[in-house]
Amino acid sequence: MRPGAARKFRGPRCFVFEGDMNSSRAFQRLRRLLRRPERAWGLALIVGLIVFVVIPVAYMALHSFMFDSLGPRYVRGAQPGDWTLFYWTRVLTGSLSRAIFWEPFSHSLIIAILMSAIAIPLGSLFAWLVVRTDIPLKGLFNSVLIIPYIVPSWTIGLAWLTVFKAERFGGQPGLFHSLFGVDPPAWVGYGLLPIVISLGAHYVPYSFILLRGALASVDARLEESAEILGAKRMEILRKITFPLVLPALGSAFVLTFGKGLGEFACQAFLGLPIRYYTLSTRVYSAFEHRQHGQGYVLTMILILMTTLTVLANQKLIGARKKFTTISGKGARHKPVKLGAWRIPATGLLLAFVLAFVVAPIGLIAWETFMRYEGQYSLSNFTLHYWVGRGDPMLADGQPGIFRSSFILGAIKNSVLLAGATALASGVIGILLGYAVVRARGTWLSRTIEFLSFTPYMIPGIAFGGIYLSIFARKWGPLPALYGTFALLAITCVAKYLPYSSSSGISAMHQIDPTLEEAAEIHGEGWLGRFRKVILPLAKGGFLSAFLLTFITTMRVLDLIVLLVTPQTRTMTSIIFRYQQQGYTQHAYGIMLLIVGITLAGHYLVRRLGGRIQF
């Protein structure tokens, strides 16, 4: 009995002891994990990225297969939340699929192709002229050619309306009618043509910047050797220069094409008045009319299309590594002498600057000083829309911009939103960079980098639609956020994660880890090391990221147009509403303020050594 009793007694004691040991080991592993700050922050950031990036996208994908609150109107006996393929079949193969999807899809595709056909050749030509030829005023062109991309994409579109607006669609005639006494055809003022020209001109600087960098990195000795061997200029361009910059050219096309698919504002201003729909405006229309199931399907299709373009670009970036264009030995570029073509080439650049930089901003500014639209005489000049008191005869009694509490409130909201987004993005970007760089090569680093890049693949209007759907009601511990300033800030911070993380990673790569290790040896805790070592060394990248995010948030419309309410209105949202309501002078005046802020911000970024983020 005694040996058996001993065995019975030892068995439970041994079992409990092993369980305690396992718990203790797990606890020790957790302590060791959290003792490394990059790992602790990395885990916290992954949780945040899952909550604010992965779950919203998964929620929308899942609910595209469920009946929404309007489901019973379409299908007898349907209940909200029931599983269904109804919305997918309605969008893709139903009797209304042509109007809902296929026609807008074809419009988006045509716009993306045609705007790329304008932006890529012109941007490439301008980059070659500025970087590789003896054209004059290179410093001026380097600065002003990128302005159409710095300002909101719809600046050129609104200026186009000022010239070609027809009384039948726009309420008041434009400059064309004032000069010639007749309205231009509807297809000139609205629809495909103006959208393609406006977006094409907007993305010319995009291609210009990408190709400018590629051309500057090409070793000039390759071209000079071919020239010594008797090759003609066109042969050198075709056989040497063009193949070397082909990956950058392909990347510019893919990214421009992808951005064209997701553009919203310009297509809304120039397409909706004549019911010319694209995928992005269809997404807006679906959510605006509470057709959430249909909106989910269109959003998922739009995300899929833009994701494919981003993956194609990554493939091209990988291919670009096969070209060695920068060697260990430096070589100065010998400018190509244009000869008789020097004056026409300079004239072409000046014409672009005049047509798509000076003229749009000038026309918009002029419109704000006109008492009545369509009358371009000096007797029609007024400051009413800037500083005037309410007049029932003008804009339904709306006071001037600087006297309107409604507009001033929107300006305040925009500045607060941009400031909060930029500050949060800057801090999160540094933390993301810290976790990625310090844990380089681990699953943690790769996961953070992948998740933080994901929002780049989602167009702004689709991203806003996702957040509208998931945060319009209570979700776990999170309250319903629709109608709050917090929702706008969270949406903007999440959307701009790719930019903030890129800046943070770049800044952290420049900081030697031994500096932090030295502070740790002297007994400094992580918060002290972060405050005294990391932040001061990374402040240049932080300030650059702060200003770039501030500028981008100030001019954003597609991301927040579905989320704003009268209480959380911003400058861009009331421009959209005022333009729809016919308050053109007010809308253009606010537009000028945004242009001024973005240009001033870009100037500060250049002074700090930053650059435009794509």
CATH 1.10.3720.10 intervals, the chain: 85-323+339-382, 383-614
pLDDT band at 406 (very low <50, low <70, confident <90, very high): very high
Tokens of 155: 């600046």
Whether the pLDDT of residue 571 is over 90: the answer is: yes
The mean per-residue pLDDT over the stretch 361-380 comes to 88
pLDDT at 411: 94
The 10s digit of each residue's pLDDT in 414-461 is 999 999 999 998 888 888 888 888 777 788 888 888 888 888 878 888
Query: Does residue 199 carry a pLDDT above 60?
Result: yes
Task: List residues bridging with 478 in a β-sheet.
Answer: 475
What is the pLDDT at residue 312?
A: 74
What is the per-residue pLDDT for 329? 47
Looking at per-residue confidence, does 524 or 361 come out higher? 361
- Higher-confidence residue of 575 and 2: namely 575
Q: Three-class SS of residue 133?
A: strand
Q: Is the pLDDT of residue 613 over 70?
A: no
Mean pLDDT value across residues 505-534:
76
- pTM for the structure as a whole: 0.83
Residues 6+ apart with CB under 8 A from 290: 69, 70
In single-letter form, the type of residue at position 411 comes to: I
User: For the residues 259-287, what does the mean pLDDT come to?
Assistant: 91
Contact 64, 296 (CB under 8 A): yes
Long-range contacts, stretch 589-593, CB < 8 angstroms, 24+ apart: 589/368, 589/385, 589/386, 589/401, 590/401, 590/407, 590/410, 590/411, 591/152, 591/155, 591/158, 591/364, 592/361, 592/364, 592/365, 592/368, 593/401, 593/411
* pLDDT recorded at residue 333: 61
What is the reported pLDDT for 279? 93
Question: pLDDT tens digit string along 349-359?
Answer: 999 999 999 99
| pLDDT class of 211 with cuts at 50, 70, 90 | confident
At 438, give phi and psi (nearest 5°): -70, -25
pLDDT (mean) for 167-196 = 84
pLDDT, tens only, 281-334: 999 999 988 898 999 999 999 888 888 887 776 665 554 444 444 444 444 567
**DSSP characters over 357-370:** IIHHHHHHHHHHTB
- pLDDT above 90 covers a percentage of the chain that reads 31
User: Residue 451 contacts by C-beta under 8 Å, 6 or more apart in sequence?
Assistant: 46, 49, 50, 53, 54
Cα–Cα distance between 148 and 154 in angstroms, integer? Answer: 10
Q: Secondary structure of the chain: what % helix, strand, coil (to 5)? A: 75, 0, 25
* 3-state secondary structure (DSSP) of residue 294: helix
Tokens matching residue 201 = 């001109």
* Residue 338: alpha-carbon gap to chain centroid: 37
- What confidence score (pLDDT) does residue 170 get? 57
* DSSP alpha helix (H) spans, 36-137: 37-49, 55-63, 71-74, 86-92, 97, 103-132
CB of 410 closer than 8 Å to CB of 574: yes
Cα 202 from Cα 289, distance rounded (Å): 30
Tell me, what's the pLDDT at 32? Answer: 59
pLDDT score for 268? 92
Q: What is the CATH number of domain 85-323+339-382?
A: 1.10.3720.10
- In terms of DSSP H, where are the helices of 439-570? 443-453, 460-471, 485-495, 497-509, 513-521, 526-529, 535-554
Contact 435, 444 (CB under 8 A): yes
What is the 3-state secondary structure of 389-445? CCCCCCHHHCCCHHHCHHHHHHHHHHHHHHHHHHHHHHHHHHHHHHHHHHCCCCHHH
Contacts of 443 (CB under 8 A, 6+ apart): none
Mean pLDDT of the chain: 82
For the record, the structure tokens of 161 come out as: 């309306």
In 512-527, which positions are buried (b, 16+ CB within 10 angstroms) versus exposed (e)? eeeebeebeeeebebe
- Statement: residue 26 has pLDDT above 80: no
Top pLDDT among 227 and 272 is at 272
pLDDT over 70 (residue 491): yes
Which of the four pLDDT bands, split at 50, 70 and 90, describes residue 611? very low
CATH of domain 383-614: 1.10.3720.10
- Range 252-257 average pLDDT: 82
349 vs 132, which has greater pLDDT? 349
Q: Whose structure tokens read 């945040």?
A: 48
The pLDDT confidence band at residue 612, using thresholds 50, 70 and 90, is very low
Q: In this predicted structure, what is the pLDDT of residue 14?
A: 46
CA atoms within 13 A on the CB side of 423: 7
The helix/strand/coil state of 83 is: strand
pLDDT at 509 over 50: yes
Nearest to 255 by CA among 203, 321, 196, 193: 203
Helix 242-262 to helix 192-217 angle (10° resolution) is 150
Q: What average pLDDT does the segment 344-349 reach?
A: 93
Residue 181 has what DSSP assignment?
Answer: S
pLDDT digit string, tens, across residues 45-98: 888 888 888 888 898 899 999 998 888 888 888 898 899 999 999 999 988 999
